[in-house]
Amino acid sequence: MNKSIYFFIGTEAELIKVFPVIIECQNAGRICHIVASGQNDLGKSRIMEFMELNGSVIELSKEADIKKSAVGLLCWFLCIKKKAPQIMKKHFRAAELRGADLVVHGDTVSTMMGAFVGRRLGMRVCHVEAGLRSHNLLNPFPEEIDRLITSRLARVHFAPGKIPAQNLRRAKGVVVNTEYNTILDSLAWSKKMEIRTEAVRGIQGKDYFVFVMHRQENLMNHDFVRQILKQVRMLSREKKCVLILHKITENKFQELGILDKLKKDRRFLLLPRVDYFDFMKLLDGAQYVITDGGSNQEELHYMGKPCLIMRKTTERQEGIGENAVMYSGRTESIKKFAENYKSYQRECLLEKCQPSRIICDTLCRK
């Protein structure tokens, strides 16, 4: 029996949701290897420090070598997808790879790449966070397409709930309902970790809300950005606003002449992306959150934290109509949400289930 399990990981967001599965599998006696596509530099993640991986980490490329454009990403994908099987066979024995489990996660181009590579090597592709659908090929793009293609290539589908599992009723292979997303287990780990970012430590216990805007479809709409920020500035008169500056957000705010004004505004605390564990502490301490992040939607649902989702559509049902409100397209809805945010507070779900253990049990049953 092959006791090795291979995890094909491209982004830090994928690593965040997969590391509890790796820990469970290692505790069950399996050797876990990470094949890093290079879409993000995983070596910089705090998660890699404490996970104590018992297998190998191989890098297929370097993040610094990927041109930050749609064309650059496509060229990188095609190149690495072609080279990856040879790189993996050079590092591991081909016979060892054949028939082994290759775990991919989510909806990135690395997810799809991993599924293609796994099938080419004769591996059993196992898709974590499978079955999420917006039922709109172009929104979110390219995530919806990534998921559909990955579902065709995978033979084990770990669906985080009843609706995602139903979406996979025609999929080939085995569908396993994990009930919740593995981010539930990641959140449980975050509770145990100390805060490293001084600014996050300094704001704990204070009255604040968190604002996150990083999706391209939002940032490309300059009128929308200005309207939202106008509303957020109004809210900051009542509570301090912690604004997370993803690099793409920082560049856009600089382009629009907004960044310097925000830096001078004492009602705002501008933070670059902090590590996952500190970010979870930041969200947990907030009164409410305004975000356009899909993962944030799930995390906040499990926390029971009030949040406003700035997206036209979402492939995730977690929290909608409970702790989460979809942005209606009318800026006054932001003010209305902030005035009534306490009514959206819900029960914390961290003790409900351990989806990573369900995944581990399935992988180790082989």
**Structure tokens that stand for 8 in this block:** 């094909």
Total-model pTM: 0.84
Residues 210 and 166 in one domain: no
Residue 299 falls inside a structural domain:
yes
Indicate whether 190 belongs to any domain.
Answer: no
Helices (H), the chain: 12-27, 46-51, 70-91, 94-97, 109-120, 143-153, 162-167, 183-190, 198-203, 216-219, 222-235, 247-255, 259-264, 276-285, 294-303, 332-339, 355-364
What confidence tens digit (pLDDT) does each residue in 294-327 have?
Answer: 788 989 999 999 999 998 777 677 888 899 999 8
151 and 290 co-located in one domain: no
10/159 same-domain check: yes
- Is 257 found in the same domain as 161? no
pLDDT at 50: 87
Q: What is the tens place of the pLDDT at every residue in 288-300? A: 999 998 788 989 9
Instruction: Look at residue 290 in the predicted model and tell me its pLDDT.
Output: 97
Both 29 and 153 in one domain: the answer is: yes
Q: Any residues with CB less than 8 A from the CB of 46 and at least 6 apart, and which?
A: 196, 275, 276, 277
The CATH number assigned to the domain holding 56 equals 3.40.50.2000
Rounded CA gap, 264 and 62, in Å?
36
211/81 same-domain check: no
230, 91: one domain: no
23 in the same domain as 154: yes
Asked if 97 contacts 122 with a C-beta cutoff of 8 angstroms, the reply is yes
The whole-angstrom separation of Cα 40 and Cα 10 is 6
Average pLDDT of the chain is: 93
Decide if 67 is inside a domain. yes
Is 242 a domain residue? yes
Whether the CB-CB separation of 286 and 315 falls below 8 Å is answered with: no
Tell me the pLDDT band of 33, cut-offs 50, 70 and 90.
very high
Contact 344, 325 (CB under 8 A): yes
- Alpha carbons 37 and 59: distance in angstroms, whole number: 6
Q: How far is CA 158 from the centre of its chain?
A: 16
- The answer as to whether 142 is a domain residue is yes
**Is it the case that residue 10 has pLDDT exceeding 90?**
yes
**Token representation of residue 4:** 């090795």
Tell me the residue range of the domain where 278 lies. Answer: 198-344
Task: Specify if 187 maps to a domain.
Answer: no
